[in-house]
Structure 1
Amino acid sequence: MGAGRGAGLMGKFLAALIVVCAIAAGAGVYYTQVYGFYETVEATGADVVLTTSAGEEERLPHRAFEGIDASSSPIRYRACFVTDRSLDALSADYVRYPQAEPLQAPGWFDCFDAREIGEALEAGEARAFLSVENVEYGIDRVAAVLPDGRGFVWHQINRCGEVVFDGRPAPEGCPEPPA
């Protein structure tokens, strides 16, 4: 009887140890994905640029910049800012970005709400602009501005990246992919 009881306790201990290790591993993966890889982007004054209709990148006057980025992925960049420029003035001076799709930010980066931005873009209340084309091959930096002056920036895979990242040759009009 005594040996069977000891084996039962050992089995329960090992099962509990496996569960504790699985929970710890899951918590570690969650933390690194949501918090661990991100770094704060320090404001420099040249944080928000938009591409003019002449193809030049131009600084957009702004304030209240907050940004995050992660080296683990080229599409983890997110930023928020405020500008005093009107949507009409921005539309007259800068290249629009018609296929803008804001990507979710970590929940703790609360100035960036992809759902709110996306709904405002779909309703025509907000406007999206090209910030930097191919900030990294196949990735564009996109900026969107709401009527109240709040602005948001994120990285988005462009048409060239969608094709090349799937392992196909670059489409016509795309730059040559890096080796």
Structure 2
Amino acid sequence: MNGKIVGGAIVFSAVVAGVAVYYLQVYGFYEPVPASAPAAEIRLTSAVTGQPEPILAEGFEGIDADSSPLRFRGCFSTPLSLAMLSETFTVYDGATPLHGPNWFSCFDAARIGADLETGAAVAFLSEHEIRPGVDRVVAVYPDGRAFVWHQLNENAEK
């Protein structure tokens, strides 16, 4: 009888720990980024000066977490044309959007990544080294839809 109680306690503890870990990974640390927050200001790196410059962004919706610099994601739209952006700002090679929580439905990393590969969207460098080893990247579609995320850069492996 005592073995059943001990075994049941172990199983119950494992289930509680599993639920807690799942909740913390998917929901616990994320917070919405208000459109008025400094992190919501969308900037792209100028091809001429090499410095980030603000661009027009409307309808920003974003999330972030202090637990990792890679958890930042956002969705917005811009009235700027893709042709003008391509001539003015630095294109980002090797952009790979990271998957976010399923409940943040405006950001579909698989779709964005596929569209970047086919050329349906273009990635731009927002800010190099926004945090050590991390770049902020923006992908823009011809219709003005745009997405922003953080990804590791070449300095992250050093």
TM-score norm. by structure 2 comes to 0.93
Distance in 2 (CA, whole Å) between partners of 1:148 and 1:105 is 23
Distance in 2 (CA, whole Å) between partners of 1:147 and 1:22 is 49
Query: Which of residues 55, 58, 61 is equivalent to 2:50?
Result: 55
Structure with greater Cα Rg: 1
- What root-mean-square deviation, in Å, do the aligned CA atoms of Structure 1 and Structure 2 show? 1.3
SS in 2 for 1:28: helix
**Aligned letter for 1:71?**
D
Q: How does 1:148-159 map to 2 (within 5 A)?
A: 148-159=143-154
Distance in 2 (CA, whole Å) between partners of 1:116 and 1:87 is 19
Asked if residue 141 in structure 1 is aligned to residue 133 in structure 2, the reply is no
Q: Deviations over 1:52-110 (max 9, x none)?
A: 11212111111110111111111111111111112111101110001101100111111
The answer for the alignment partner of 1:161 in structure 2 is: 156
Q: How does 1:20-169 map to 2 (within 5 A)?
A: 20-44=12-36, 47-53=41-47, 54-162=49-157, 164=158
**Aligned letter for 2:121?**
A
Q: Deviations over 1:28-55 (max 9, x none)?
A: 0010111111111111275211111121
Q: Deviations over 1:138-168 (max 9, x none)?
A: 1110000112211111111111222x1xxxx
How far 1:13 sits from its partner (Å)?
2.2
The answer for the alignment partner of 2:10 in structure 1 is: 18
Worse overlay, 108-117 or 35-44: 35-44
Unaligned segments of structure 1, at least 5 residues? 1-7, 165-179
The percentage of counterpart residues that share the same residue type is 52
SS in 1 for 2:21: helix
Q: Which structure 1 residue ranges, 4+ long, deviate > 4 Å from structure 2?
A: none
TM-score norm. by structure 1 comes to 0.83
Unaligned segments of structure 2, at least 5 residues? none
Worse overlay, 47-56 or 120-129: 47-56
Q: Relative contact order (alpha carbons < 8 A, sep ≥ 6): 1 or 2 greater?
A: 2
